[in-house]
Structure 1
Amino acid sequence: MFALARSSLARRCAVNNVQRHAFSSSAISAGYFKDYLERVRVNVKEVSVSEVNAELKKADPHHGVSVHLLDVREPYEWNVEHIPNAIYTGRGCLERDIESIVPDQQEPIVVYCASGNRSLLAAESLQNLGYKNVRSLKGGIAEWKKAGNRVRINASTFADRVEKY
């Protein structure tokens, strides 16, 4: 069995090594991250774009939001575009800052990123902190846009403003 696992790993690395030569490609992967995500998926509920959209439309103007929509992407990603009414909290500060953003651990939270991987891990982390109603947006903002939903686009980014000078 060990020899089979080693040969499988060697095949995966050999395939990925061919792809490694391009500048923008990822590092050689044995598939550990993908395997880890699959284990996390068992414990974290993923929610579709249509489900999130329906929930956001239920917002009561007198009582505020129906769900806390958290963007856990990098600042430069948020600065380019984000889902309207989302709250920015980078993945790196989520655990530290969540209590000031959502003090009640029973409140519904949907976490999103670019494609759904970081948000899956963020949702797991929030569950480990005791949050009871946390979900990850399946497919992230990419699926949100693919479904034809609008995003808030910033008129200019910091880089655009620097370039003017």
Structure 2
Amino acid sequence: MLLTSNDLVKKAKLRITEIPDNVFLADKDRFVLIDVREKNEVDGGIIEGATHIPRGTLEMNIHKHLKEVTGSDYIDNVAIALYCRSGARSALAAESLQQMGFEDVYSLRGGITQWKDDGYPLVNVIN
């Protein structure tokens, strides 16, 4: 049976943990925040403290990024929060990182769209 992208996202959301932005903000220093949107999408701004790693290259770059951010080779238990525009790609990304063995992975519910709708600010991307 073929699945649509919506079917795939729905299945992923059953296997991952989504958190609302207020829960993320209450404990934001605990997380490594990653924006998985495409380059043209982040030009409009990102959530402060986020690093842009596009969904298409996340699996290839996650180990290096976490080691750089934490200054440690021990990255198994790093808390990772992911977001995209709506929460769909970040759900797929969270599931993929779980398949890679990461256990403390979250997707921001509603993505950056919900973030903006809730009145939270964005910052410009520093190139």
AA aligned to 1:99 is H
State which of 39, 42, 47 in structure 1 corresponds to 2:11. Answer: 39
TM-score (norm 2): 0.87
- Structure 1 vs Structure 2: percent identity of aligned residues? 34
Q: In terms of Rg, which structure is larger?
A: 1
- Give 1:138-149 correspondences, 5 Å limit: 138-149=109-120
Distance change >3 Å, CA 81–CA 33, structure 1 → 2: same
Shift of 1:33: 1.8
- 5+ residue gaps, structure 2: 68-74
User: Can you list the C-alpha shifts for 1:37-78, whole angstroms capped at 9, x where unaligned?
Assistant: 11111111000011111112xx3xxxxxx2100000001111
Which residue does the alignment assign to 2:71? Answer: none
| SS in structure 2 at match of 1:36 | helix
1:74 and 2:45 are equivalent in the alignment: no
AA aligned to 1:71 is D
Shift of 1:153: 3.2
- RMSD over aligned CA atoms reads 1.9
Which residue does the alignment assign to 2:103? Answer: 132
Provide the rounded CA distance (Å) in 1 between the counterparts of 2:58 and 2:8: 20
User: Can you list the C-alpha shifts for 1:89-119, whole angstroms capped at 9, x where unaligned?
Assistant: 0111100000011240211000000000000
Which residue does the alignment assign to 1:99? Answer: 63
AA aligned to 1:118 is R
| SS in structure 2 at match of 1:119 | helix
Provide the rounded CA distance (Å) in 1 between the counterparts of 2:80 and 2:49: 13
Higher relative contact order (CA 8 A, sep 6+): 2
After superposing on structure 2, the runs of 4+ consecutive aligned residues of structure 1 that deviate more than 2 Å are none
